[in-house]
Amino acid sequence: MEEIKILSPAAAIPRDSQPSAVLRTVRSEKVYGASLLRVASCFRFVNSSTLVAEVARVFQQETELDVVGVCFENGQVLGLVTRSHLFGLLGRPFGQEVLGKKKIEEFSEKAQTFDQHANLFQVAEQIQPLIQRTNVHYFLLSTLEGHFAGIFSSKDLLLYLSQITQEDIQLAGILQERLVKGRESWDWETVNIQALSQSAKGLGGDFYHVVAIPDGRIFFTLGDVSGKGAAASILTSLLWGVLEFYDYRKGLKTLIHQLNTALIRTFHLEKYLTGIFGIYDPRRREVVYSDMGHGHALIVRNGKPRALRFPNMNLPLGIDQGLSPQIYRFHVQSDDLLCFYTDGLTEQVNERGEEWGEASLLSLLKKTDPAEVPDRVVERLNAHQGAVPRLDDVTWLQLNFLPVS
């Protein structure tokens, strides 16, 4: 809450023929968090009995002033007058001679009036059709007693909403980076895991997560949320919370069921995600694995990369309440490399519109030491795209299985 000094009350306005005395200013004593006063840009007003010529001189002297309020002698709001409207009238033939000596109340423009402490977000919804138009609309603010309290425009409201939206997006981006870091690695006795994630712009929808389970197993996942922006960021945060605090003793299938239910209840089939979910058991050298409509998975064995495929691919999460995921098990060998990525990697185009493609990725994996793969992937992708902007988020997760000592 901000304390604002009253410069002049909107009541008992003294009349004066000089423009400097004609124009008055008023401010409310308090501005609450989400009140309309926060977006008001004009607190200037004139008496309804002021002559048109005097108001015109005010606009001539105050070159940055585009609108003023018009009030009765007792401070009650009558309306407003804009520079463009007034000069339009005076610019007519004999306008200055005929209209200049009339009172401004005859030319006061009606405007929608709101209480000065009305919630600006509710008002924004109410006047949305007007604020979406290109021309500027003005609105009056009044006290509970009906006294003039200020003026705001559709432009003022849009600028404020845009500003707080940008601030929220920046904060959400910071939080998202804390949850899904740009680069991470984990070293265990039998496996090295590396991950990277790069957002194309703003708030991304990719995620990865790795958890060391107390019994010695390791959970890993990578996914891609449908859409981008704030909704995708919220979904990513939801996933992080579930994955971070899930009891992995309950198994992979229960986790997938819980995630699917959470997505459907939260987003009502409007959002879904594709992803891979796995648990590596170092004692058995075994991976329990489920591909939920994702498909971007590779295995490099004996220096030969190939797609990791299973008989059945599951539906993505968030579209079927009765989802029954297929879970597969397979053994890994020393020096195997499991690679998972999102489609932003292989679908990135260059200046000729050519995608980088899975073939380029397979070729890179053949020639690159596993420890260097993430860096080489980013280098090759950047070289391929050249001056073309990044079109989608890129996320990479790899598990390099080490020889057992």
Q: Is 313 part of a structural domain of the chain?
A: yes
pLDDT score recorded for residue 29: 65
Q: Does 114 share its domain with 255?
A: no
Q: Does 341 share its domain with 371?
A: yes
pLDDT score recorded for residue 13: 34
Domain that holds residue 393: 180-401
pLDDT score recorded for residue 97: 79
Report the residue count for the chain: 405
- Burial class, 346, CB count within 10 angstroms (exposed 0-12 / middle 13-18 / buried 19+): middle
Q: Does 224 share its domain with 365?
A: yes
Q: Does 188 share its domain with 275?
A: yes
4-10 own/partner pairs: CB under 8 Å, 24+ apart: 4/28, 4/29, 4/30, 4/31, 7/43, 9/75, 9/147, 10/45, 10/71, 10/75, 10/147, 10/148, 10/149
Strand ranges of the sheet holding 113-115, from the earlier edge strand across to the other edge = 113-115, 138-142, 148-153
pLDDT in tens, 40-74: 999 999 999 999 999 999 999 999 999 999 999 99
Phi and psi at residue 344, in whole multiples of 5°? -60, -20
More confident residue, 84 or 21: 84
pLDDT at 210 over 50: yes
Task: Label residue 93 by pLDDT band (50, 70, 90).
Answer: confident
Q: Does 295 share its domain with 354?
A: yes
Beta carbons within 10 angstroms of residue 351's beta carbon: 10
Phi and psi at residue 133, in whole multiples of 5°? -80, 160
Q: Considering its fold, how many domains does the chain have in total?
A: 2
Q: Does 158 share its domain with 190?
A: no
Q: Is 121 part of a structural domain of the chain?
A: yes
Q: Is 125 part of a structural domain of the chain?
A: yes
| CA–CA distance, 377 with 345 (Å, rounded to integer) | 9
Q: Does 332 share its domain with 222?
A: yes
Q: DSSP per residue over 358-380, as a string?
A: HHHHHHHHHHS-GGGHHHHHHHH
Residue type, 177: E
pLDDT score recorded for residue 330: 97
Q: Is 397 part of a structural domain of the chain?
A: yes
Residue listed under structure tokens 């901000």: 2
Which CATH number does the domain housing residue 74 bear?
Answer: 3.10.580.10
Q: Is 35 part of a structural domain of the chain?
A: yes
pLDDT score recorded for residue 169: 72
Across residues 338-356, what is the average pLDDT?
94
pLDDT score recorded for residue 40: 93
Which CATH number does the domain housing residue 250 bear?
Answer: 3.60.40.10
Which of 117, 136, 163 finishes a domain?
163
pLDDT score recorded for residue 15: 39
Which of 163, 189, 213 finishes a domain?
163
pLDDT score recorded for residue 203: 63
pLDDT at 346 over 50: yes
Which of 133, 163, 193 finishes a domain?
163
pLDDT in tens, 99-146: 878 999 999 999 999 999 999 999 999 998 887 777 899 999 999 999
Q: What does DSSP assign to residue 214?
A: T
Q: Is 331 part of a structural domain of the chain?
A: yes
Q: Is 171 part of a structural domain of the chain?
A: no
Q: Does 129 share its domain with 194?
A: no
Q: Does 127 share its domain with 208?
A: no
pLDDT score recorded for residue 128: 87
pLDDT score recorded for residue 21: 77
Q: Does 151 share its domain with 189?
A: no
Q: Is 169 part of a structural domain of the chain?
A: no
Return the minimum-mean-pLDDT range out of 18-32, 204-218, 276-290. 18-32
Give Rg (Cα) of the chain. Answer: 32
Q: Does 256 share its domain with 379?
A: yes
Q: Does 190 share its domain with 157?
A: no
